Structure 1
């Protein structure tokens, strides 16, 4: 993998994502329900004013795909949506061992989402090199990975 961009913070993550997503027609985020959902909604926010359709698939269950919609409260999960898309965003929570996601099941899910799609893009978004550490790079054919590292400081006033 070659570094094509470098930035920091949440703003950097969102800007990187917006640049990679700009040519997509339909994006399906795939992540763990609960943990990954708010990250998908946050990233969807930066493309809210485009014509890109956006959805979320929980784990390896494409038949449960839901639309991510713009509301007065930000981006939120909406009604059922067709799970087929030209862009997949895999979220790093999927690769965490405690989630128990089988990588072969994920590969099957990716193929279902890309059925009858010619131009395919797979983007990984993770923290602290999760995809690399869990050996998902290679078995999953990523086009791009946004790997973010957070530094946390808790202060007492």
Structure 2
């Protein structure tokens, strides 16, 4: 996969994401409950004027809306899962989760049913999709891959 853009930090992830989905009317995120949910809400913040949904890996048939509430982005009521962009979050590819890339590919296809120019975008950390070889099974249009550097300082 050729690199088309590089950036740093949370702002870099958010700006990259926003540019890839600028034409999208509805975006559905697919990820693990708990671990991926906050990332869907964070990414959703920069496109909060769109229709957004989140599908938990525990129940691929039940999409919940993501909306801007008084405390920020939150999961809401059940909603239609169909969208013109599907975002697969990297937590899905973690071996302990037990979701196969074939299952995720199938879910992405169902979400994009009826979309003329649907996109599949992966958002992960530390090359999770590539390390788990999901890129060999899922036809991603783009993958946003970020690395984290962690420092704990004693002051």
Q: What is the TM-score normalised by the length of structure 2?
A: 0.96
Contact 2:127–2:146, Cα closer than 8 Å, also in 1: yes
Match of 2:21 in 1: 21
Q: Note the residue ranges of structure 1 that are not aligned, 5 or more in a row.
A: none
Contact 1:60–1:105, Cα closer than 8 Å, also in 2: no
Contact 1:89–1:124, Cα closer than 8 Å, also in 2: yes
Shift of 1:60: 6.5
Match of 1:43 in 2: 43
Structure 2 residue corresponding to 1:108, chosen from 106, 131, 140? 106
Q: Note the residue ranges of structure 2 that are not aligned, 5 or more in a row.
A: none
C-alpha distance in 1 between matches for 2:135 and 2:59: 21
Match of 2:77 in 1: 79
C-alpha distance in 2 between matches for 1:122 and 1:60: 20
Match of 1:141 in 2: 139
> How many pairs does the alignment contain?
155
Match of 1:120 in 2: 118
C-alpha distance in 1 between matches for 2:107 and 2:95: 18
Deviations 1:67-123 (A, max 9, x none): 000012110000001001110000000000010102221122111111122111011
Match of 1:12 in 2: 12
Secondary structure of the corresponding residue to residue 16 of structure 1: helix
Contact 2:30–2:87, Cα closer than 8 Å, also in 1: yes
C-alpha distance in 2 between matches for 1:47 and 1:12: 15
Structure 1 residue corresponding to 2:66, chosen from 54, 65, 68? 68
Q: What is the TM-score normalised by the length of structure 1?
A: 0.95
Deviations 1:13-54 (A, max 9, x none): 011001111110110000001100000000000112x3x210
Contact 2:26–2:85, Cα closer than 8 Å, also in 1: yes
- Which aligned runs of 4 or more in structure 1 are off by greater than 4 angstroms? none
Match of 1:33 in 2: 33
C-alpha distance in 2 between matches for 1:25 and 1:103: 26
